[in-house]
Structure 1
Amino acid sequence: MKFQLAVNLERMDDSADMRAVRDHTLDMVQMAEAGGFNIVWAAEHHALEMTIAPNPFQILTWWAEHTDRIRLGTAVATAAYWHPINLAGEAAFLDLISDGRLEFGIGSGAYQREFDRMRPGLKQSDAWQYMQEMLPAVRALWQGDYAHEGDYWQFPTSTSCPKPLQSEVPVWVAARSPITYDYALREKCHVMSWPLTRPFSEAELYKKHLDEAVAKADNGFRPTFAMMRHAAVWDNEADRQKALDAIRLVLGQFENLFRNSGGVSNGFPAQIPLAELEGREQYDPVMLEENLLFGTPDVVIEKLKKYEALGVDEFIYYASMGLDLAAQKRSMKLFCDEVIPAFQ
């Protein structure tokens, strides 16, 4: 099993110094590279302090200049917010300046709140159609001259400038539903999945979707299957409690955004009061500690071996969960020093 890192520039309130957050994020990426991680992912989100990522390519270009080997991925570029020529060129330029380290993740987008601002009138549930039109266009532009007449974009003959260094850029799709797995395999894309806070049975369901899609596509393509979980490794009770408290606060903000019903002030989503979350399974501390990649190094190794046995090729360590910066680094160090060696 290989390992990937998802990390955001993240502020939970305005007491966090933006320069400290900036420096911490790069520190985490460099720790991941030194520790043997395979890929680091940057997101795309807009007007949200909990995920400061207005352009994933800009973030990855910055990281590329301070790393040598770790591959650099977009998780994900939101198709509806881009024009195909712009997206193809930005991605190819990153591949050029990083000496061929681009991993191109494309998706539909997460929050209706963002669509209301970035693409007014578009429902998040309909955004997959933009992704499915975008990907073939970007791939064609990477190859050379191409004209496009689609439902959402039209342009005369054009091409990507520059072209990617890689003859075939790895493409990733975030998938949960069977229809998305079918699309990913039909288009020969690798798959990243996120069971949120659900139990291991959810991971088993995603593997079943993947196997069925591979059989249905029957095109000889074997995707890399990656799975993401929030991760925190600890060796003392204080860090354990910090992780459990932090993840519940972050999930309260996610609940706000997914409902599209809570307030957002100056980029900070309102925290749904924990009293309203008591008794709800997805916020139960016992469940969170069991289902997420939480625990001492030995516990985390045991959990990862279950994913490895299931057929997960690469595990995505999701570091951003509102945990204080020092605790994030302690967790990452334990993971690199005591967990990764068990899989080498």
Structure 2
Amino acid sequence: MILSPTPFNQGDQMKFHIAINLERMDAQTDMRAVRDHVLEMVQMADRAGFEIAWAAEHHALEMTIAPNPFQIMTWWADHTENIRLGCGVANAAYWHPINLAGEAAMVDLLSDGRLDLGLGSGAYQREFDRMKPGLAQSDSWRYMQEMLPLVRKLWQGDVTHDGTYWQFPAATSCPKPLQGEVPMWVAARSPITFDYAVANHCNIMSWPFSMPFAEAEKYKAQLDEAIETAGNGWDGTFAMMRHTAVYETKEDRAAAMDAIRSVLGRFGNLMTKTGAVHNGFPDEVSAEDLEGNVRVDPEMLEENLMFGSPDQVIAKLRRYEALGVDAFIYYASMGLGMAEQKRSLQSFIDHVMPEFT
């Protein structure tokens, strides 16, 4: 039997999450400073009442240092009080189900029941070429769809499994989660993934990258269609992630714009495989070489992303709220300086969040 997690967003108020990576844009940046900065940002979010802090999974990339999200979440759990710890997301193709179920349940145990488990299909073919050679990223959703119900079963007791990708004799997750029903999340962009998430009573996170608001509207339409098709009374949380920078000076605006354009150039390298990666640092691809150059145009970026003054950000969030987004994921990592990141988050906490509570 598939269990439905209790939705977070019981009322009409938008909830706020934070997603942050340990990131280095150059080899001169001290990893200890990166470590301390990320923890301080998560602690700021915890004190401010953010609902979830999300840790990603990526490999062999300095701009997203996250080889094991469960290790990161356990670290955060030990230094926070209330914020939930979200795996956003584990790449199902890289894990064995028994391993993943046990790692996740251990986080729930050590955090006193603050785990949110997200599964996804990965982002970069470069990672698959190293972590799962021979698997195309476009086919990895099949692993996720076999993994998710299996993890739920392993948390309940002994399971014998003879599937397409994994086979094993009777086994169970040790430990078991403290929560009777661990909230499950699926990273969704395509209709097939929305359909699967809704059919399996999972919460949904979407990321329109640097695309216009119309991309968010497309995701909501796919969600509505999936709910209608499933007819199962889906009552989960629909979360939307955007790179976020709240600035109140021209200098901070310029810093945010320079940072996001640089990151998008490196991200474009990974997505299109048009540049090299040296010691974990992707070369930056020029805006002219990226497909759809308008996505990196400063004016379009300021319009599409959660960038702007507090008033501008509030107005943008109101559009997402009206669209039906239950939770906004403040994506802090984009190569921005540590001091600027903290100023942005503090401004969001002081000036933006009060408008939604």
Same fold (TM over 0.5): yes
Write the distance in 2 (CA, Å) between the matches of 1:194 and 1:271: 22
- Aligned partner of 1:195 in structure 2 is 208
The residue that corresponds to 1:37 in the other structure is 50
Q: Which residue of 1 aligns with 2:11?
A: none
For residues 150-178 of structure 1, give each alpha carbon's deviation from its aligned partner in whole angstroms, at most 9, with x where no partner exists.
01100000000000011011000011111
Q: Amino acid of the residue matched to residue 197 of structure 1? A: S
Conserved? CA contact 2:89–2:119, under 8 Å: yes
* 2:20 is the alignment partner of 1:17: no
* Alpha-carbon distance in structure 2 between the residues aligned to 1:308 and 1:41: 21
Gaps of 5+ in 1: none
Select 2:172's aligned residue among 146, 151, 159.
Answer: 159
Alpha-carbon deviations, 1:233-285, whole Å to 9, x = none?
01100000000110000000000000123100000001113564598111100
Q: What is the match of residue 130 of structure 1?
A: 143
What per-residue deviation string (whole Å, max 9, x for no partner) do you get for residues 44-92 of structure 1? 0000000000000000000000001000001110001100000000000
Counterpart contact for 2:129–2:135, Cα < 8 Å: yes
Question: Partners of 2:50 and 2:122 in 1: how far apart?
Answer: 26
Counterparts of 1:109 and 1:307 in 2: how far apart (Å)?
25
1:244 to 254, 257, 261: 257
Q: Does 1:69 align with 2:82?
A: yes
Residue 131 (structure 2) pairs with residue 118 (structure 1): yes
CA shift in 2, pair 1:114/1:277, >3 Å = closer
Whole-angstrom distance in 1 between the partners of 2:321 and 2:264: 27
Separation of aligned partners in 2, 1:107 and 1:274? 28
Contact 1:214–1:222 (Cα < 8 Å) also in 2: no
In the alignment, which of 172, 182, 193 is matched to residue 180 of structure 1? 193
CA distance in 2: counterparts of 1:341 and 1:279, whole angstroms: 36
**Inter-partner Cα distance in structure 1 for 2:114 and 2:140:** 28
* Residue 327 of structure 1: how far off its partner (Å): 0.2
Say whether the 8 Å CA contact 2:274–2:285 is kept in structure 1. no
Structure 2: how far apart are the matches of 1:90 and 1:241? 41
| CA distance, structure 1, for counterparts of residue 125 and residue 94 of structure 2 | 13
Q: Assess, with a 3 A threshold, how the Cα gap between structure 1 residues 124 and 97 changes in structure 2: closer, same or farther.
A: same
Measure the CA separation in 1 of the matches of 2:20 and 2:83. Answer: 14
Q: State the alpha-carbon separation in 2 of the partners of residues 327 and 37 from structure 1.
A: 19
Indicate the residue corresponding to 1:270 in structure 2.
283
**Cα 1:256–1:208, aligned 2, differ >3 Å: closer, same or farther?**
same
Q: Decide which of 286, 291, 306 is 2:299's aligned counterpart.
A: 286
Q: CA deviation at 1:221?
A: 2.2
Instruction: Quote the residue 2:153 is aligned against.
Output: 140
Partner Cα separation in structure 2 for residue 287 and residue 182 of structure 1: 31
Secondary structure of 1:302's partner? helix
Cα 1:144–1:306 shift into 2, 3 Å: same
Matched, 1:88 2:109: no
Letter in 1 for 2:238: F
Aligned counterpart for 2:67 among listed residues 54, 62, 84: 54
Distance 1:251 1:69, change over 3 A: same
Identical aligned residues as a percent: 68
**Structure 1 residue runs of 4+, over 2 Å off?**
273-279
- What is the alpha-carbon root mean square deviation over aligned residues? 1.1
The total of aligned residue pairs comes to: 344
Q: In structure 1, what is the Cα distance between the partners aligned to 2:236 and 2:34?
A: 34
Return the offset for 1:219: 1.1
SS at match of 1:76: strand
Distance 1:274 1:76 in 2: 28
Distance 1:279 1:169 in 2: 39
1:284-321 C-alpha deviation (Å, 9 max, x unpaired): 00000001000000110010011111110000000000
TM-score by length of 1: 0.98
Whether the 8 Å contact between 1:144 and 1:160 is mirrored in structure 2 is: yes
SS class of match (2:99) = helix
Cα distance in structure 2, aligned partners of 1:275 and 1:222:
43
Query: What residue is the counterpart of 1:305 in the other structure?
Result: 318
For 2:256 and 2:316, the matched residues in 1 are separated by 17
2:183 is the alignment partner of 1:170: yes
SS in 1 for 2:219: helix
Tell me the secondary structure at the aligned position of residue 201 of structure 1: helix
